[in-house]
Structure 1
Amino acid sequence: MPSDDSPAPGAAPLSPNDVRPAATGLEPRTTAPVVLDAVDHRLLAELAADARIPNNALAQRAGIAPSTCLARVRALRDKGVIRGFHADIDPALSGRPLQAIIAVRMQGSARSRLTSFLRELGALPGVLNVFLLGGAHDFFVHVAAPDADGLNDFVVENLSVNPGVALTETNLIFQHVRAPVF
């Protein structure tokens, strides 16, 4: 039986931009670091800048043959270095112009539920990112809301009513710049 990465018989070979299930960040991590060379880093930088770049253009920028490029990108995906390809959606233009980082501290009795709560938070509408932390707070939750009332509703309905949540602190985001990954 072909794997998810195998093209159907007679189909065109996969490109670096073929869709895979979205990574959640909760997948198991390998314990050994992956050794990357200069070509791998160049591929990652180009894909981070434009995940839709065609394989032949990516190969040209990395200075390698298209078949080599395809194999290297596939290997980086298989090793978990590339977790997925994503659209960078503007929250404001998609109806959620108000962004915030909500710091969450859990009750001591809820510490055994950190991983499950992380998953629950990540599944909520309007959540862009969730970070499990070490330090004074247990989570940072990056959210986008349609307005101040929507943000308030999110905090009240999803965090404040949860008996495991000890404290929330909402910080508004005025501007955001996406930093290059590499």
Structure 2
Amino acid sequence: MDDIDSAILEHLQRDARITNRDLARTLGIAPSTCLERVRALRNRGVLTGYHATVDLAALNRRVQALVFLQIRPLSREVIESIKSYVAGLPEVLSVYVVAGGDDLVAHVAVQDVEQLHSMLMDRFSPRREVVTFRSSIIFQHVSEPVVSPLDDV
């Protein structure tokens, strides 16, 4: 990763729809050079996809929450199974397997608090491997749209 690669990543994270020509012009490099560098970043697995950002409220998902789950028995098979189940739920935005007191954390977005309650009761309570769960409603969320490489220490 050099400065040009870092600049390419920054610009693509801010606007994935930027044309190769405009990106090259912004960076002061030839379009062919820019295209080759973007391809190299994809081939190395640095660029993994291009995404549209959506307004959850516009999709009638005004309430977001983190759901913390404790799973038993703890085994790779059980964790993989419940992770796949949770990730497949339409309310779930992302799932994290974590260390500490909880085993999984799910970020969910639903219409309202009643729908959150129904989801918890109908989708998590019946699962035998879910020993306990708790939820925390998200009041505000800030996300950094651009991720930069960290310097080696």
Mapped partners of 2:10, 2:28: distance in 1? 14
Aligned partner letter, 1:113 = V
CA distance in 2, matches of 1:47, 1:124: 30
Verify: 1:137 aligned to 2:102, yes or no: yes
List alignment gaps of at least 5 residues for structure 1. Answer: 1-35
Contact kept, 8 Å, 1:127 with 1:142, in 2: the verdict is yes
Residues 121/172 of structure 1: CA separation in 2 closer, same or farther (3 Å cut): same
Cα deviation code 1:55-99 (max 9, x no counterpart): 112122233211111121122112211111111111111111000
Which of the residues 38, 49, 52 maps onto 1:73? 38
User: 56, 65, 82: which is aligned to 1:91?
Assistant: 56
The structure showing larger relative contact order (alpha-carbon pairs under 8 Å, at least 6 residues apart) is 2
Deviation at 1:143, TM superposition (A): 0.5
RMSD of aligned residue pairs (Cα, Å): 1.5
Q: Structure 2 stretches of 5 or more lacking a match?
A: 149-153
Whether 2:136 is the aligned partner of 1:171: answer yes
Residues 111 and 161 (structure 1 numbering): CA distance in 2 closer, same or farther, change over 3 Å?
farther
Count of residues paired in the alignment? 147
Q: Percent identity?
A: 39
> By how many angstroms is 1:171 displaced?
0.5
Shift in Å, 1:46: 1.0
| Length-normalised TM-score, structure 1 | 0.75
Give me the whole-angstrom Cα distance separating, in 2, the residues matched to 1:68 and 1:116.
Answer: 44
Alpha-carbon deviations, 1:7-48, whole Å to 9, x = none?
Answer: xxxxxxxxxxxxxxxxxxxxxxxxxxxxx1111111111111
Higher helix share: 2
Cα distance change of structure 1 residues 84 and 138 upon mapping to structure 2, 3 Å threshold? same
Matched, 1:52 2:17: yes
- Give the C-alpha shift of residue 120 in structure 1: 2.1
Runs of 4+ in 1 over 6 A off after TM superposition: none
Partner of 1:38: 3
